[in-house]
Chain A
Amino acid sequence: MDKAVNVRDIIKKNIKSKKNVTEKIMPKVFLLSASISILTTVGIVMTLIFDSYRFFSKVPLREVFSTRLAPLNANPSFGILPLINGTILTSLIAMCVAIPVGLTAAMYLSEFASEKRRKTLKPIMEVLAGIPTIVYGFFAYSFVTPLLMRIIPSLGAKNALSPGIVMGIMIIPMVASLSEDAMSSVPNSMREGAFALGATKLEVTFKVVIPAAISGIVASFVLAISRAIGETMIVTIGSGSSKNFTFDITESMQTMTAYIVEFTSGDAGIGTTGYYSLYAVGLILFLFTLVMNLIAQYISHKYREEY
């Protein structure tokens, strides 16, 4: 028989040799890593603000909030409303696709699919989220637009509708996956309570599970909108660069992101008003997504402790 291990002695010996220095230095390294991301964020936001300021000091606000966008005209005008309009319309189209499909998919996965089916379907759906957006953009331009042209003959080769729809398809997995998480974290005892009152499966889903998971579901919508607003490639390829202010979704329109792509790929000389307009658009875009993310956080915090 071996002698009993004297744990106490071993600990005593080891605890002395533990490097106090490492214990002290490592947290500083961690802090440094954390600071890098915070500092770059601050740096980017500062740049946005300073260079936007130059833009706003050159261009009167009345012009900024006008519908005429003609940056390269002999008589240039920097109205941002066409871009905001293009961004909001394409995002709205995307949400019209992503919310109903994403939510019903989440309902199916969480409430109706068997455990086995859920385990195979969810990862497959999440692969959809991993497809590069340039592929989606190409898909919108070369497949969805021609397809839609058969239904709407007047549809332009570049239009807001097709990239809007494709962007919606792209964010379906995000809505479905986050909503599904929210719904499956509703305790089963709540479903049982409703079943025991004679509720049908649909009634349980709509009148117990969804209300109980509503904060997570709405947060997923808001995050998806924020994603659509910031999306670039799909709208650049699919919707083109027309700077008209229009509500006709069969026409080409430009989003804020696509405007930045167009200008950074060549035309804006450093120091020109057009160059600084990029920063102004960037700042507004940043504010849009920031507000969306804050709303999402607020919603999911506010209702967290309900059950």
Chain B
Amino acid sequence: MLTNGGNMQSKVVYSVENLNLWYGNDQALRDINLKIEKNEVTAIIGPSGCGKSTFIKTLNRMVDNIPIVRTSGKIFYHGTDIFDKSVRLEELRTTVGMVFQKPNPFPKSIFENVVYGPKIHGIRNKKQLMQIAEESLKSAALWDEVKDRLNDNAYGLSGGQQQRLCIARSLAIQPDVLLMDEPTSALDPIATNKIEELIDELKNNYTIAIVTHSMQQAARISDKTAFFLMGELIEFGDTKKIFTTPEDKRTEDYITGRFG
């Protein structure tokens, strides 16, 4: 039911409607409405604690792991409400990959990290796994650096390499969407640059939502920008427009750094 077919003609991948979310009694997301379109990079910006992470973790229902979370509203993913009882979480997450703020490889070899997803979903054939690993590492622009040390522990890689490994790990199950929560905040400028180039490359095949604290990064890599403030979506639209002629005063204050 969460197949790529059906609504493929429509460019809308995610349609979020009146989404509210509470941690216990604290409301973290308030009446969010937005659409994420195919093969676009959507940047999510806003001050610390405004709900950016919460929002993208709702898109693959990672927030379900937190017992006190309650939600209302709907999130349609290719036309299916992901909160519907018939939706299997594991199935949703195989088509919506996620990359975290801090690189979090498993304490296994580089190869085992990449093929972890394919393996748990039943691919056993050594040759197929090798092929998947190579393709994913190539897509994550890491292949050349690690091809001779696939059996080394992933923790021997640099931070930037680890993050690209985590991207490769997500790509290995051929998702449709990639969610990234500040994927470069733990990295130096060179590694950041690499990841940004990679995102530009990946958007040909994937739909990407990325949380970032860097205005320049949002401006450089995204097509659409969503500005959150205290759990509300203040403004959402073309990145160019948001960064040149924002409609809301608060957006302007934030992106120009005049925010109190």
Contacts and interface: CB of A to CB of B under 8 A. Distances in A.
B155 A197 contact: no
B94 A198 contact: yes
B104 A198 contact: no
Nearest to A189: B104
B170 interface: yes
Interface string B104-117: 11111000000011
Contacts of B62: 192, 195-196
Interface in B49-79: 60, 62, 65, 67
Interface string B185-198: 00000000000000
A35 interface: no
Interface stretch (A15-23, A126-134, A204-212): A204-212
Interface string B217-229: 0000000000000
Interface in B18-54: none
A307 interface: yes
A307 B90 CA distance: 26
B104 A187 contact: yes
A270 B94 CA distance: 74
A306 B116 contact: no
Contacts of B247: none
A207 B120 contact: yes
A198 B170 contact: no
A187 B104 CA distance: 9
A307 B155 contact: yes
Interface in A179-226: 187, 189-190, 192-200, 203, 207-208, 211-212
Contacts of A307: 107, 155
Nearest to B64: A195
Interface string B138-169: 00000000000000010100000000001001
A187 to B, nearest CB: 7
B211 interface: no
A259 B94 CA distance: 60
Interface residues of A, number: 20
B107 A196 contact: no
A211 B108 contact: yes
A40 interface: no
B98 interface: yes
B155 A194 contact: no
Given A114-B67, A189-B104, A307-B107, A196 B97 contact: yes
Nearest to B88: A198
**Interface footprint category on B:** 20 to 34
B117 A197 contact: yes
B63 to A, nearest CB: 11
Given A189-B100, A192-B100, A193-B169, A198 B117 contact: yes
A114 B68 CA distance: 11
Most buried by B among A187, A193, A212: A193
Contact of B93 (A114, A198, A212): A198
Given A198-B117, A307-B155, A192 B104 contact: yes
B173 interface: yes
A194 B116 contact: yes
Contacts of B121: 198
A116 to B, nearest CB: 10
B155 A193 contact: no
Given A203-B120, A307-B107, A197 B100 contact: no
B49 to A, nearest CB: 19
B102 interface: yes
B201 interface: no
B91 interface: yes
Contacts of B106: 190, 193-194, 208, 211-212
Contacts of A211: 106-108
A217 to B, nearest CB: 14
Nearest to A203: B120
Contacts of A203: 120
B67 A200 contact: no
Nearest to B96: A196
A205 to B, nearest CB: 12
Contact of B100 (A193, A198, A208, A212): A193
Nearest to B61: A195
Contact of B170 (A114, A197, A212): A197
16 contacts: A114-B67, A189-B104, A192-B62, A192-B65, A192-B104, A193-B100, A193-B105, A195-B93, A196-B100, A197-B170, A198-B90, A198-B93, A198-B120, A199-B90, A203-B120, A212-B106
Interface of B: 60, 62, 65, 67, 89-94, 97-98, 100, 102, 104-108, 116-117, 120-121, 153, 155, 166, 169-170, 173
Closest 10 CB pairs of A and B: A196-B98, A198-B94, A189-B104, A197-B117, A198-B93, A307-B107, A198-B90, A306-B107, A193-B104, A203-B120
Given A197-B93, A197-B97, A199-B117, 15 more contacts: A189-B104, A192-B100, A193-B100, A195-B62, A196-B93, A197-B116, A197-B117, A198-B89, A198-B117, A208-B106, A211-B106, A211-B108, A306-B107, A306-B153, A306-B155
